[in-house]
Structure 1
Amino acid sequence: MVCCLNPDCPEPLNSDENQYCQSCNTPLVRLLRGHYRVIKVLSDEGGFGRTYLAEDIDKLNEWCVVKQFAPKVQEASAIKKAIALFQEEAQRLQELGEHAQIPALLAYFEQDNYLFLVQQFIDGENLIHELRQGVTYNETQVIRVLLDLLPVLKFIHERGVIHRDIKPQNIIRRRSDGRLVLIDFGASKQLTATVHTKLGTTIGSHGYTPIEQMEDGQAYPGSDLYSLGATCFYLLTGIAPSKLWMQQGYSWVKSWRQYVPKIIGSKLGKVMDKLLITDIQQRYQSANQVIRELKKQPLPSSVPPTLLTVPPTLLTVPATHQRLFTVKFNNNLRKLLLVNVVILLLGFGGIWYFQSFLKLNTTEISENADQPKTLKGHASDVNSVAFVPNGQTLASGSDDKTIKLWNLATGKEIHTLKGHLKWIWAIASTPDGKILASGSADKTIKLWNLSTTEEIRTLKGHTDGVATVAFTPDGKTLASGSLDKTIKLWNLGTGKQIRTLTGHTQAVPALTFSPDGKTLASGSWDKTIKLWNLGTGKQIRTLEGHSELILSLAFSPDGKTLASGSKDKTIKLWNVATGETIRTFRQHSDKVNSVAYNKTANGIILASGSSDNTIKIWNPTTGKEIRTLKRDSGYIYSVAISADGQAIASGGSAENIIKIWPISQ
């Protein structure tokens, strides 16, 4: 199906063969900005734009949210002002996306006279949906909601941002870890209010919006706190503040306690009283004030929210993009109980994380791994990183169509390689560090001389984007995997194609050679891994066990074990000789985009990068997690371990940067 991007279209979904919308006759855009495939409308902003669910085809069909702003004004000055405000707001959202409980900003741009924001898709249910599914909140759980969200408000308020529309619909419980994520910072709403021709346009929702914001459009940190208090009232009572507001105006807040089914303690009662005061001067002025008030006394002992008997929740998209999310309430209960214990142990509030210092034999991650070296220079997402075996250089490939070479000692950019016409998805260096290969969405592979930084040649033959490249240990053969479902082997000396390996039924985004150079492993979106005899080009065996797309592969240094990362959020270790699964790592909470093996001075480590914004280091022998190196707002698309085992590099979507993490010996 193709979704029409006319914000006024009454029936935006069209069949694939349509060139024009069957409902409004608008020309259909199949790929927004060349790589966002819009699937369906998520919400309508009253004719001023829409919010859509979309897929990023450059990120292996990763889901994202596209927000469209279509100002209904004709004056050039008003449009110019709207665009300027839009850019300013996008920059602000990019900064806010650094917080783990705020969706990351992935892109913003203008196209066809519309303005667009692209943000991270949060897999979960909003609080209003929980209430409608039978979840009830007691006093303890409401306090925990406050302690989960108040640090987020503190974060945005310290950066001069007021949310203006806090309500249960804009708070999502993330499925992976149960944390609450604050969404919809209302860039389009604020812009609409700015350029709207009607006077008195305000942002907010009746019942949740304080009087100062409703009357004159002014909003302050205390305004968001009022909205949070109204949200907690809804959770406690199951009564929508909007209904009370329609009946009583703001007078309902003075007697809010009469609607609560059970008597609540003085601690929460006192906080709610001050959150819901009509006069902003008497209200809490900062999130920090509320946090301090809540921390004065320990939480009352209680149980998680009551889950009434309801059917599993399913989120369904059109058939061609079908994905079902099922909420398993028994699992949620166990997760919530665990969260309760953790919060009690840690003393509540803030954003907490654990750092594991489990030893791998005698190897430890150094203490300064929390201050990695940061390399900045790319203008878009960094999809691939690779250490050059000379030990002095790192290479990176990006959506900005460039490859950059970096001096590891200084962190400075050495050179930028240009030539690809589209996004660069994969890079790899020969074992001698003389040649770099790059695979691109432009369907080509380029070979680069790393000494002269000149292009050697371009390899053509794939009929779709090249998602992965890998060199044999002797550096004589290059393998490439493509969205065209094939693997091609190339003679590095002549640039000629040796053979094409077929057998996968979907795209091939992962390739790796065994250390002896005799076996090639390929991972596919068809959920299988295939092992190939490099000499004959014949299949050895197929490994099956992942429930979702295979995204990354790596052989162990001895060649006996293969690691695979998948969209199913797991890493599997396979016995190469038998094809059997050795173990499965399940600690990531989102898809595993990259895995890398290598030796350190004291043992073998496995690194993994995930869309859950973390890099994890594992002891592959014991299956234990050693440490989580990174947690920030961006997806991790690629990880690499240096040849000497002293550093780990990561690239991803967070601010288009690369980080180098030292490993002490």
Structure 2
Amino acid sequence: MICCLNPDCKNPQNPDGKEVCQSCNTPLVPLLRNRFRVISLLSDEGGFGRTYLSEDTDKLNDLCVVKQLAPKFKGTWSQKKAMELFSEEAKRLQELGEHPQIPTLLAYFEQDNCLYLVQQFIDGNNLLQELQLRKHYRDWDIQSILLDLLPILKFIHNRGVIHRDIKPENIIRRKVDGRLTLIDFGSSKQLTARVQKKHGTSIGSHGYSAIEQIRDGKAYPSSDLFSLGATCFHLLTGVSPFQLWMEHGYSWVKNWQDYLHSPVSNELTTIISKLLETDIQNRYHSTDEVIRDLSKQYTHLLAPASNSFLPTSKHNNFYPKKYLFLRNLLLIITTMVFLGLGEFGYRNFHQLQTAISSRFSKNRMTENTQPVVYQEQQESKENVVLMKTITEINNSNSLASVIITPDGKSIASGVNKSIKFWDTATGKEIITLTGHEKNINKLVISADGKILISGSDDKTIKVWNLDTGKVIHTLISHTDSVYALAISKDAKTLVSASDDKTIKVWNLDTGKLIRTLTGHSDWVRALAISSDGVTIASGSFDKTIKIWNINQETPINSLTPNYQTVTSLAFSPDGKILASASRDRTIKLWDMVTNKEIRTLEINNNATSLVFSPHGNILVAANRDCSECHLIINSEIKMWDVNTGEKILTLTEHTKTVNSLAFSADGKTLVSGSDDQTIKIWNFPF
């Protein structure tokens, strides 16, 4: 098909090979700028132009989006403003398109008295369409959405850009990986003195836009945060902020909780209330403030972005004939409808196909009352025995770290603000150590089992004598929460990492700070030290892994595994291999001699912890549960043969996210700690 580019054409679709439009007799343009083949209409902008689905012939006919500006009212203020916004959108995409969750600008040009902007096509549903399909968002869904969008907003705000029109329609969940993409920068505006000090044109969507933006035409980073809060409200309640604004103005934000169908956590309620403050002084002023409040409760910040999982051929037998018939009938009807509806377009047609198939999968699971659980083959599972489950972890909101003493006789875990020890054989509590003022995020123990070190949200690190249960040193230098610790094999040196973006090296004998390593641009939450006691690896929210010499203050190398936050790191016992996990749901093995990737291990979910067996032949990974998936992926512990990359087995006994793993020194015992408030003790035969 070829599409007519006359913005007034009533029926722009034409068969291939035609030279003039069969509807309006306008000459057809085979290729815009000798490159872009326009194939269908996506939307009509009502007198200012249209948006088309197109193919990029320079890129093997990749789909792209062509936005056309052809204002009818030439010489008017409206035309001038439309051209200004169109030009601004092109500039913004040029500047911001380097971010993987913002569409890339492919071209901007004038042809036949029209302006054209060509951008990357994002294949997926926007959040409004997703809401209409799924009807209900839970507490965790909103946390996940916030934590996927906030880094994008931080990126644009750091470049002086305010989006000014954040709403569900302008957020697309990509089909390929489930990540959110922010679109439509036509209303974005540079954060300049002109915007801040002078009254401007009101741009945005009523109900979603902050009062200062609608009333005064002023926009700030906190204005985008109000819109983000309104978006979360819409998804949680199903109630349109626009309708509420039409009826009540901004008064609805004071009692927004009255519209909830089910309660949400106190933490999320507080965050959304602060996002929705009409008084800009009381609202969040930056994305970092919001992320910080979310991370106080949730250590592993981002749940895996959900896809609409279509059943593969091996699952087809889950559908009885009536379900297959109804599903296929709906898909046929949908095909016919969407071919006639340019407003929703090609993209939405494919997304609704996926949603229908997924919905039938979900309905079938409900009918059987047995969910389809994703689980790898476990031929060797009988070799790993669950010896004991410790359940006496009362009133715990945080079980972020577990360790086992080198002799394997006792297990320690950070439980909220305290450290609890259990007898490995009996599972009974032995002793509780207290001293931190806030939650403990990480524990490490020396190879001789004499000292234990804890890092906390209170910004301190405590070094404990395990013979006496007393604090030897309290290390104070970090200015934010401490999330990662690594201790050298000789127990002489400690390395710590923090949300203050720094890594610090400490003398454990004296408790003195040796040096501070700087180079990351965001929180550092993954850390490992090699057996040589010199090489350090750190992983950050800046999506890089940095390699350090412990005696130098700047990194000696930097690895970028996949443009996603790095969640865990581990060195093999001989220090030759580094394992890294990040939010693309893969684990990578790196050769530390060449700094080249050896192989990628697919984990199907975000890994929270990595550990090599003491012999170095097995890599063990823990991962989050996936409450959003249609194929339910439970929290799992997976094991791989390091030499071959072959998956050995999968353990699924935990019912919630597994946060931490640790081996005994002889490699015979593996312990795991989880959000299900249990610690499991495994006999490990490999």
TM-score band by shorter chain is: 0.5 to 0.7
Which of 230, 235, 245 pairs up with 1:43? 235
Alignment partner of 1:643 is 2:665:
yes
How many Å separate the matches in 2 of 1:356 and 1:524? 33
Q: Which residue of 2 aligns with 1:298?
A: none
Deviation at 1:422, TM superposition (A): 2.1
- TM-score, scaled relative to structure 2: 0.51
Gaps of 5+ in 1: 3-9, 50-67, 73-81, 91-104, 148-228, 240-259, 262-306, 315-325, 359-363
Normalising by structure 1, we get a TM-score of 0.52
Residue 629 of structure 1 and its aligned partner are, at CA, apart by: 1.3
Query: Structure 1 residues 40 and 372 mapped into 2: Cα distance closer, same or farther (>3 Å)?
Result: same
Structure 1 position 386 matched with structure 2 position 403: yes
Query: Does residue 426 of the first structure (1) align with residue 442 of the second (2)?
Result: yes
Contact 2:208/2:231, CA 8 A, preserved across alignment: no
Secondary structure of the residue aligned to 2:385 is helix
| Deviation of 1:531 (Å) | 1.6
Q: C-alpha displacement at 1:437, in angstroms?
A: 1.1
Hey, what does 2:622 align to over in structure 1?
Answer: 609
Aligned-pair CA distance for 1:582: 0.6
Match of 1:618 among 640, 647, 652: 640
Measure, in 2, the Cα distance between the counterparts of 1:521 and 1:16. Answer: 45
Secondary structure, aligned partner of 1:509:
strand
Distance 1:424 1:38 in 2: 33
CA contact (8 A) 1:574 1:583 kept: yes
Cα 1:491–1:624, aligned 2, differ >3 Å: closer, same or farther?
same
Shift of 1:423: 2.1
Q: Distance in 2 between matches of 1:537 and 1:416?
A: 37
1:41 CA displacement: 2.3
Q: Which amino acid aligns with 1:611?
A: R
Residue 409 (structure 2) pairs with residue 395 (structure 1): no
In the alignment, which residue of structure 1 is the partner of 2:498?
A: 482
Which residue type is aligned with residue 679 of structure 2?
A: I
The Cα of 1:365 is off from its aligned counterpart by 5.2
Which residue pairs with 1:53 in the alignment?
none
| In structure 1, distance between residues paired with 2:231 and 2:533 | 43
Partner of 2:488: 472
> Offset at 1:552?
0.9
For residue 580 of structure 1, the aligned residue among 596, 599, 602 is: 596
Q: 1:146 to 1:661 in 2, by over 3 A?
A: farther
Closer, same or farther: CA 122–489 of 1 in aligned 2, 3 Å: closer
Give the drift of 1:555: 0.8
Cα distance in 1 for partners of 2:525, 2:420 equals 22
The residue that corresponds to 1:591 in the other structure is 606
Pair 365,45 (structure 1): closer, same or farther in 2 beyond 3 Å: closer
Change in Cα spacing, 1:38 to 1:436, as seen in structure 2 (3 Å) is farther
Q: Secondary structure at the match of 2:643?
A: coil
Q: Which residue of 1 aligns with 2:58?
A: none
Q: 1:311 to 1:576 in 2, by over 3 A?
A: farther
* Cα distance change on mapping 1:544 and 1:449 into 2, 3 Å: same
Shift of 1:46: 7.7
Distance 1:16 1:491 in 2: 52
1:657 is aligned to 678
Query: 1:640 touches 1:648 (CA, 8 Å); kept in 2?
Result: yes
Distance change (3 Å), C-alpha of 1:636 and 1:108: same
In structure 2, distance between residues paired with 1:608 and 1:626: 12
Q: Please say if 1:515 is aligned against 2:531.
A: yes
1:540 equivalent in structure 2: 556
Q: Using a 3 Å threshold, how does the CA distance of structure 1 residues 144 and 609 change in structure 2: closer, same or farther?
A: same
Q: Tell me the number of residue pairs that the alignment of Structure 1 and Structure 2 aligns.
A: 418
- Give the CA deviation at 1:373: 2.7
Which residue in 2 is equivalent to 1:557? 573
Select which of 455, 462, 467 maps to 1:451.
Answer: 467
**Structure 2: gaps of 5 or more residues:** 1-149, 154-205, 242-254, 274-293, 626-634
C-alpha deviation, 1:421, in angstroms:
2.3
**Aligned letter for 1:659?**
K
CA–CA separation in structure 2 for the residues paired with 1:412 and 1:38: 48
SS at match of 1:43: helix
Cα 1:107–1:657 shift into 2, 3 Å: farther
> C-alpha distance in 1, partners of 2:304/2:559?
31
Which whole-Å deviations, capped at 9, do the CAs of 1:29-78 have from their partners, x for residues lacking one?
Answer: x99xxxx99973243548899xxxxxxxxxxxxxxxxxx99469xxxxxx
User: Contact 2:497 / 2:524 at 8 angstroms: preserved in 1?
Assistant: yes
Cα offsets for 1:563-589 (capped at 9, x unmatched): 111111111111111100011101x22
Question: Quick check: which has more Rg, 1 or 2?
Answer: 2
Aligned pair in 2 of structure 1 residues 516, 121: CA closer, same or farther (>3 Å)?
closer
The 1:627/1:311 distance shift into structure 2, 3 A limit, reads: farther
Q: 1:374–1:69: structure 2 CA closer, same or farther, 3 Å change rule?
A: farther
Opposite residue 635 of structure 1, the aligned amino acid is T
Deviations for 1:398-431, whole angstroms, at most 9, x for unmatched residues? 4x22221111111111122222222221111111
- Over the aligned positions, Cα root-mean-square deviation in angstroms equals 5.3
Q: Which amino acid aligns with 2:420?
A: K
Q: CA deviation at 1:397?
A: 1.6
Which whole-Å CA distance do the structure 1 matches of 2:234 and 2:266 have between them? 18
SS of corresponding position for 1:551: strand
Q: Aligned residues: percent identity?
A: 35
Instruction: For 2:552 and 2:308, locate their aligned partners in 1 and report how far apart those are by CA, in whole Å.
Output: 54
